[in-house]
Amino acid sequence: MNLALFDLDHTLLPIDSDYTWCQFLISIGVIDAQTYEERNQRFYDQYKAGTLDIYEFLSYQLRPLAETPRATLDQWHTRFMAEHIEPALRPSALQLVQKHLDAGDQCILVTATNSFVTAPIGQRFGIPHLIATDPEEKDGEFTGGVAGQPSFREGKVLRTEQWLAQRGLGWSDVGTVHFYSDSINDLPLLEKATHPVATNPDERLTEIAQQRGWPILRLFE
């Protein structure tokens, strides 16, 4: 079995889905623009710099999910997909995923963004498996907490290992492992891959990829 692992934000999408979801909630008046835009931008800048405290971020990012009935959230997400995700889809990214699907690789979306936001996006790309940060649920509604290990930095490695273990497998049981990512935050999983691909990489990842001879793929140019 060969694996094809894909980060999402700025890798398969030219936008950050977490950031854009928050901007969407601001646009429909669910959260206060001034307060949340300032915090949203601060967290986004920290993410790009590789200094994000994931638990501080999640306590902020998951709060609207806990404050809103699931049925309403689902309606909002349908609108979010139509207004923000569909226009951001690029043929180059869709074709990259399809290439691995056609090759028979096990394709997995491995993202730090929460699974409520990202599950429909992964389905839109045709990716059958999702490893994401999972919001805690109780009786079908979100609590605002996190279930298990966030899929972030070293957590992506751990969660991928758990995915393999659920199938009775380990790293030594798989063949090639492609991992496509733009972010220095994904260095731990890139280092586990047999075929790391710096995809639309940030400045720090570009430098590392050049030093290590990793291919650099720019999907949106």
Return d(Cα 8, Cα 77) in angstroms, integer: 17
Give the DSSP letter of residue 138: E
Give exposure, 59-72, as e/b (b: 16+ Cβ within 10 Å). Answer: ebbbebbeebeeee
Return d(Cα 124, Cα 80) in angstroms, integer: 13
Closest CA to 197 of 2, 1, 7, 44: 7
Query: Which position among 7, 105, 134, 186 bears the catalytic label?
Result: 7
Return d(Cα 100, Cα 106) in angstroms, integer: 8
Query: Which position among 9, 18, 134, 186 bears the catalytic label?
Result: 9
Token pair of 6 as six digits: 């894909």
Tens digit of each residue's pLDDT, the chain (221 residues): 999 999 999 999 999 999 899 889 999 998 888 877 788 788 878 877 888 888 888 888 899 999 999 999 999 999 999 999 999 999 999 999 999 999 999 999 999 999 999 999 999 999 999 999 999 999 999 999 999 999 999 999 999 999 999 999 999 999 999 999 999 999 999 999 999 999 999 999 999 999 999 999 999 98
Going through 48-205 in order, the beta strands assigned E by DSSP cover: 106-114, 129-138, 141-147, 177-181, 195-199
Closest CA to 174 of 182, 163, 184: 163
Domains of the chain: 3-217 (3.40.50.1000)
Answer whether 156's CB lies under 8 Å from 110's CB: yes
pLDDT in tens, 1-53: 999 999 999 999 999 999 899 889 999 998 888 877 788 788 878 877 888 88
Burial label, 167 (beta-carbon count in 10 A; 0-12, 13-18, 19+):
exposed
Residue 173 annotated as catalytic: no
Residue 129 DSSP SS3: strand
Residue 9 annotated as catalytic: yes
